[in-house]
Amino acid sequence: MPLRFRIKKGYFQDALRLMRISKTAGGMEGVKKATAVMATDKARFALDSAGLLTSGIKGAGGSDLVMVVEADSEAAAEKALAAMEEMISAGSSGAGGESRDIFNQEIRAVNMGLDIFRDALLAQGVEVVQVDWEVPAGGDEKIIEILKKMY
């Protein structure tokens, strides 16, 4: 069975949205498996477990979007990949009947996580506020207890 994939470098997408897109593409005629994920270590492990990890995907990073399809034919695989890309580009999850069109609104984000997430959003033109947060008192529990008493 043909296995095809596409990678969009630095193209962060919400996991819930990607699950909906994967489900829609997986239901297409001739498609055996379809998934769209951010290429984190856990996601690559899951792709490997599902028999969907290729050498081309192994080099993808956590801020890269990976779309993978296993289908009965090359044509079905390419059709599903094209549909997935269209759903991602159009801001549609394919779920239909959404009451609020949140995917076509301007995105503004606050990131308290890794710089790689901020960088991926900035690369897509998203306004991002980066919060440089650290564990209080460097994690020293004695000092943290003293600080708690001061509040």
Note the pLDDT tens digit of each residue in 77-116: 999 999 999 998 886 444 443 434 555 667 778 888 788 8
**DSSP-derived pairing of the beta strands 108-111 and 127-130:** parallel
Name the nearest CA neighbour of 35 among 52, 60, 57.
52
pLDDT at 76 over 90: yes
Q: What angle do CA 60, 63, 69 make, to 5 degrees?
A: 55
pLDDT digits (tens, 9 = 90+) for 25-40: 999 999 999 999 999 8
pLDDT for the residue 104: 61
Check residue 102 and give its pLDDT. 54
Instruction: Catalogue all structural domains in the chain, each as residue range(s) with its CATH number.
Output: 3-96 (3.30.1360), 105-150 (no CATH)
Selected residue with higher pLDDT from 105 and 3: 3
- Longest Cα–Cα distance of the chain, Å, equals 67
From the CB of residue 83, how many other CB atoms can be counted at a distance below 10 Å?
19
Q: d(Cα 74, Cα 139) in Å, to the nearest integer? A: 54
Residue 65 has what pLDDT? 93
**Residue 6 pLDDT level (bands cut at 50, 70, 90):** very high
